[in-house]
Each structure stands twice: as structure tokens, then as C-alpha cells.
A and B are shown apart, each in its own frame.
Chain A
């Protein structure tokens, strides 16, 4: 297993609240890593430290290192826009822009300076195919993305994230607002995506973690309690607290 991102002694404070304690973990490349744990345990916060989306939160303080591509992404010289291009993100609620399907996908590439129509056409088609939604939308690329169903919108958002060719895709409970069929499609898609990308997903759904992920990280009250292969965690958890959580003794 190759490591694509190495988190070392990561601590995070919201004002006085110490939200993440000494998190150290290696994110494996081309695998799906699921972050699980009860609400408020810090898993979403942790996910957002990986592409520095937490920078937008006021009064936040972060110490420690997140090594990606040989450098600490919190080093002063790191260009956040470069980082976020390499580490894409899909949110809990689908958030397509109020533009056409085509323009949604082309937004990222255009942002990064691609203007050639031929190139953009190419990227749009490829991204939509990668997100397994091409066949559904290829005849209406110029219609508004807001007219799609929730599940389609979420896959569009995945395609939009893929359009800037990231290494890593972060998914923040990306199926929690969707119906079971759409959820199934996104799970399938995630498994397909790990051939080309590394996926890190936050999920509240234990079955989802088992179905989809290769590795699992269990967070509790800001601590990373256990990180291991999913199969192992759900059969022989190392920590008592993990066992209690996954067997449903608290949540």
C-alpha cells in the first residue's frame, strides 16, 4: 500500500474548543478510506483539514503536518488553490451552480485557465463518463443543472470535482441527502473511482463503510481511536470503544 497523504500530530481548535487531538494517519493511495464515528466527533472537521476548507472558518487554529506531494500543505508557501485542485471535494448536499450542466463541469477547468472549446468539450465528456452520468445527460448538456434529480445533481458534483483532475476526492457524507437508489449508484461510483483516484469519505452509515471502504478510521470526541482495514475493524476491532460503536452500543 502506497501512502498518498501523511497526517502527523494534527491538532485543531475552534476558538477554545480543542476539536482534534494529535491525529496521525496515513491515507492509502487508490483506496477508499471511510471516516466513521458519532456526530460531533470531528470526522468532517478532519476531512476538511485535508484540503484546507477549514481555513474559511473563523477563529480556527491548526498545528501539525499534513504531508502531500512531499510538502506540508499548511506551510506558508503552499498555494491553497493548487491544493484544492489536487484534493477535490463533494459536499453533503448537492450544490451545483445555477448554470447549465456543461458550464458546471467546465467551471473548474475554466478557473484554471483552459479556454479552448475543444479541450473543454473533451473534459466535460470524460468527467461525466467517469461519474457515470454521461448517458443520462449527454442530450441536455445546455439545460440548467438545477433541473436534475438530487442523485443526478450529486453525481454532477462528483463529475465537476473530477474535471480539474484531482488526486484525491473527499466526500463529506455525500449520500446522506439521497434516496437509497441514488446512494447505491454513488457507492458503486466510488468503488469505480478508486482505480484512478484516492477517495476519503465521511459516513454516518456503518453498512456503507463496510460495503464500500477498504480502510476505516474511527473517530471519537476528537481522537482517532482506530485506523485499520475495514474488514479487520468490523470483525476484530482492536479497541473496546470501536467495538462498542460498531455493534451499536452508542452512537
Chain B
């Protein structure tokens, strides 16, 4: 009896004071949460706003379509725009077949579960390595050992090392979402394994693969540390073939050069505006692609 009485007393009854105290806590927590949400949004808005405020005045047609000249004392970032494009082409051309191929092998063919787990673990671990370390390794491996010098090729291949695990993982994840019943259905009709993968598995995983690719392009566009030693700082306009083995700064590296070595903060902010717009566009199109392809 006594116990019952005690336990009943332990639950606060709806006396005015207990009730209002809880209400106060509730309100307080709500305010705090709101405040942190608003602070986060404001911070983001401030950064974007400030970058646009500083950068947009420097954006001009001339900036985008010319190269810097010491003689004329003009600044143009066309070479850097092109270099970014070149490096995307090089890196994706290598990483896409390699990454999707590896992912298809791991999910559809490999029978040694232990090895698969090891590779998956390694891929997972690789994604956590700071990109400057990839840059260091890339410099030693590609620029020096393979003699590729500094340029788009060495830079692009370094990015391949960096992005490969990401592409493998995202592709694997999307392959795994394809129901096994589809695979069985195809095989039971006498489809060979590769035919089954090509006609049933890949079409149903394409949304994930495309999204992964677009996000990888986003990473390439935004990467700087890994490219400092590998792609180089060159600001000269080159065609694709020449750029492969000559020092070529991408937009991000150019941003660093203009901001810290040339003291052209305005130009750096203009590049930042371009980079942010590109990144936003890429993320947006990744979402769009995922939605669009899913409905087929």
C-alpha cells in the first residue's frame, strides 16, 4: 500500500507549479532549437551573400573569355575554366568505366565474400583520407615515377584515385537496390549473366550511377588540395593535348593563386561565385537526374 502511494506521488500531479515548469522547459528548448536553425541559415545566407556581393562586380565577359596578360595587365580566367573542364573529362573518362566495372564485379560476380568485404572496407577508408595526401601520392606516382610532369593528366589521374572509391560505393549501393527477383527472372529465361546485368540490372540502377557521377563531377570542380602539386599553377591558355602535360591551374587553384599570390581578392571572389554556381547546378541536376530516371 505504502509503495503504491509513494509511486503515485513520484509522478508529478498537475499542480500549477509542476505544469508550468515543464511548459517553460518546453518553450525554452523550442527557442534554442529555433535559434540554432536560424543561425545556421543566416550563416549560409551570409557566406553566399558576401561572396556574391564581393564577386559579382568583378564578373565580366572579358574575365571569362580571356587569359591573364602581364603586358596588358589584364586578368582572364578562360584557361582555368577550360582546365577544369579538361580535368573533368580526363578523370571521368578513366574513373567511370573503372569504377562501374569494379562495382559490377563486386556485386554481381565476385564469390569470395571475405575479399569483397575487404575491398569495400578499403574503399570506405579511402574516402576519409584528406585530399592533400592524394595530391602528395599523385605527385610522386604520376608526376615523378611515370614522368607525366605537372598537368591535367597527372592531376586527373590523382583525382581518379580520390573519386574511384566514391564511384564504386555509390554504384554498388544502387546495384544492390535492384531486386534479386529480377535477376532470377532473367536467368530463368536463359539469359547469360552479362546479358542479365546489361538488360535488367544496369537499367534499374542507372539513376544511382548517374547521381554518383554528377556528384563526383562536383567534387572534381571543388577540389584544390590534391591538384596543387599535380596539375600545377599554370595560367596560360592551352589546348587539351598540350594541357595534359603542362602545368594548368583549375578554377580552384586559380582562386588560390589570385587571392594569395597576386592579391587580386576581387577576382578570387568572382571565381568563387562561378564555383558556387557550378556546384549548386551540379547538385541540383543530380537530384533532377535521380528523380527523372527513377520514373522510367
> Cβ of B115 < 8 Å from any Cβ of A?
no
| Least Cβ–Cβ distance between A103 and chain B, in angstroms | 10
Hey, what's the 0/1 contact readout for B172-207 against A, CB within 8 Å counting as 1?
000000010110111111111001000110001000
7 nearest interchain CB pairs? A85-B190, A95-B181, A89-B188, A84-B190, A108-B189, A81-B190, A95-B185
Check A82 against B190 for contact (C-beta < 8 Å).
Answer: yes
Check B184 against A95 for contact (C-beta < 8 Å).
Answer: yes
| Least Cβ–Cβ distance between A55 and chain B, in angstroms | 9
Query: Which residues of B sit under 8 angstroms from A83, Cβ to Cβ?
Result: 190
Tell me the interface secondary structure of chain B in the complex. helix
Please name the residue on chain B nearest to A96 by beta carbon.
B185
The answer for the CA separation of A53 and B186 in the assembled complex, in Å, is 11
The answer for the CA separation of A88 and B190 in the assembled complex, in Å, is 8
| Least Cβ–Cβ distance between A166 and chain B, in angstroms | 9
In chain B, positions 191-243 with a C-beta closer than 8 Å to chain A are 191-192, 195, 199-200, 204
The answer for the CA separation of A157 and B186 in the assembled complex, in Å, is 11
> Cβ of B26 < 8 Å from any Cβ of A?
no
Query: Which residues of B sit under 8 angstroms from A108, Cβ to Cβ?
Result: 189-191
Check B188 against A161 for contact (C-beta < 8 Å).
Answer: yes
The answer for the CA separation of A164 and B111 in the assembled complex, in Å, is 29
Check B199 against A107 for contact (C-beta < 8 Å).
Answer: yes
> Cβ of A213 < 8 Å from any Cβ of B?
no
Query: Which residues of A sit under 8 angstroms from B111, Cβ to Cβ?
Result: 58
Interface residue tally on A, bucketed by range: 20 to 34
Check B179 against A107 for contact (C-beta < 8 Å).
Answer: no
Q: Beyond A95-B179, A97-B200, A107-B199, is A53–B184 a contact (Cβ under 8 Å)?
A: yes
A82-B190, A107-B189 are known; give 4 further A-B pairs, CB within 8 A: A81-B192, A85-B189, A91-B188, A97-B182
The answer for the CA separation of A58 and B204 in the assembled complex, in Å, is 25
Hey, what's the 0/1 contact readout for A72-109 against B, CB within 8 Å counting as 1?
00000000011111001101010111100000000110
B182, B186, B187, B200 interface centre (most CB from chain A within 10 Å): B187
> Can you list 27 residue pairs at the A/B interface with Cβ under 8 Å?
A51-B188, A53-B184, A53-B187, A81-B191, A83-B190, A84-B187, A84-B189, A84-B190, A91-B181, A91-B184, A91-B185, A91-B188, A95-B179, A95-B184, A95-B185, A96-B185, A98-B182, A107-B186, A107-B189, A107-B191, A107-B199, A111-B186, A111-B191, A111-B195, A157-B185, A160-B189, A164-B189
Per a CB cutoff under 8 Å, which of A53, A96, A97 touches B188?
Answer: A53
Interface residue tally on B, bucketed by range: 10 to 19
Query: Which residues of B sit under 8 angstroms from A164, Cβ to Cβ?
Result: 189-190
| Least Cβ–Cβ distance between B208 and chain A, in angstroms | 14
The answer for the CA separation of A112 and B186 in the assembled complex, in Å, is 12
| Least Cβ–Cβ distance between A149 and chain B, in angstroms | 17
In chain A, positions 204-233 with a C-beta closer than 8 Å to chain B are none
A82, A83, A95, A112 interface centre (most CB from chain B within 10 Å): A95
Please name the residue on chain A nearest to B192 by beta carbon.
A81
Q: How many A-B residue pairs have CB under 8 A?
A: 59
Hey, what's the 0/1 contact readout for A139-161 against B, CB within 8 Å counting as 1?
00000000000000000010011
The answer for the CA separation of A97 and B190 in the assembled complex, in Å, is 15
A83, A84, A88 interface centre (most CB from chain B within 10 Å): A84
The answer for the CA separation of A96 and B199 in the assembled complex, in Å, is 14
The answer for the CA separation of A161 and B184 in the assembled complex, in Å, is 12
Please name the residue on chain A nearest to B179 by beta carbon.
A95
Please name the residue on chain B nearest to A94 by beta carbon.
B181
> Cβ of A56 < 8 Å from any Cβ of B?
yes
| Least Cβ–Cβ distance between B181 and chain A, in angstroms | 4
Per a CB cutoff under 8 Å, which of A88, A93, A96 touches B189?
Answer: A88
In chain B, positions 61-119 with a C-beta closer than 8 Å to chain A are 111
Please name the residue on chain B nearest to A80 by beta carbon.
B190
The answer for the CA separation of A105 and B41 in the assembled complex, in Å, is 52
| Least Cβ–Cβ distance between A146 and chain B, in angstroms | 11
The answer for the CA separation of A91 and B185 in the assembled complex, in Å, is 8
Query: Which residues of A sit under 8 angstroms from B184, Cβ to Cβ?
Result: 53, 56, 91, 95
Query: Which residues of B sit under 8 angstroms from A81, Cβ to Cβ?
Result: 190-192
| Least Cβ–Cβ distance between B48 and chain A, in angstroms | 40
Please name the residue on chain B nearest to A92 by beta carbon.
B181
